[in-house]
Amino acid sequence: MDREAILKKAGLDVLGFCSARPLEKEKAYLLDRQAHFGLCKYEGQRIEERLDPSLHYSPVKSVLVFGINTKTRPIQLKKGQGLLAGISRIPDYHTVLKESGNKLCQLLKLEDQAKLMVDSHPLMERAFAQRAGLGYIGENTALIHPVYGTYLALGLILTEKTFPYDGEVGGTCSSCKLCIKACPGGALKGGGVLDPMSCLSYKTQSLEEGSRQLGPRLYGCDVCQEVCPKNKHVPLTSLDQVLKEGISKEEIQDLSNREFKKKYGHLTGAWRGKKQWMENFKSIEAYWARKSKE
Question: Would you tell me which residues interact with ligand SF4 (CB under 6 A)?
Answer: 138-140, 173, 176-179, 183-185, 187-188, 199-201, 221, 223-224, 227-230
Q: Between 88 and 140, whose beta carbon lies closer to ligand SF4? A: 140
10 Å Cβ neighbour count for 145?
26
* Shortest Å, Cβ 111 to ligand SF4: 36
* Shortest Å, Cβ 179 to ligand SF4: 3
* Shortest Å, Cβ 185 to ligand SF4: 4
Question: Among residues 13, 32, 112, 119, which one is catalytic?
Answer: 119
CA distances (Å), origin 128, targets 105, 137, 166, 263: 18, 11, 11, 35
From the list 280, 252, 216, the residue with the least C-alpha distance to 75 is 216
Mark whether 119 is an active-site residue.
yes
Q: Between 134 and 223, whose beta carbon lies closer to ligand SF4? A: 223
* Shortest Å, Cβ 142 to ligand SF4: 7
Q: Between 7 and 197, whose beta carbon lies closer to ligand SF4? A: 197
Q: Between 130 and 201, whose beta carbon lies closer to ligand SF4? A: 201
Q: Between 124 and 187, whose beta carbon lies closer to ligand SF4? A: 187
Contacts of 24 (CB under 8 A, 6+ apart): 51
* Shortest Å, Cβ 177 to ligand SF4: 5
- DSSP labels, the chain: --HHHHHHHHT-SEEEEEE-SPP-HHHHHHHHHHHHH---TTS-SSHHHHH-GGGTSSS--EEEEEEEE------PPPTTPBEEPGGGGSB-HHHHHHHHHHHHHHHTT-GGGEEEE-SSS-S-HHHHHHHTTS-EE-TTSSEEBTTTBT-EEEEEEEESS--PPPPP-----TT--HHHHH-TT--EEETTEE-GGG-HHHHTT---SS----TTEEE---HHHHT-GGGTTPPPPSS-----S-B-HHHHTT--HHHHHHHHTTBGGGTTHHHHHHHHHHHHHHHHHHHHH-
Q: Between 20 and 224, whose beta carbon lies closer to ligand SF4? A: 224
* Shortest Å, Cβ 194 to ligand SF4: 6
Which residues carry out catalysis?
119
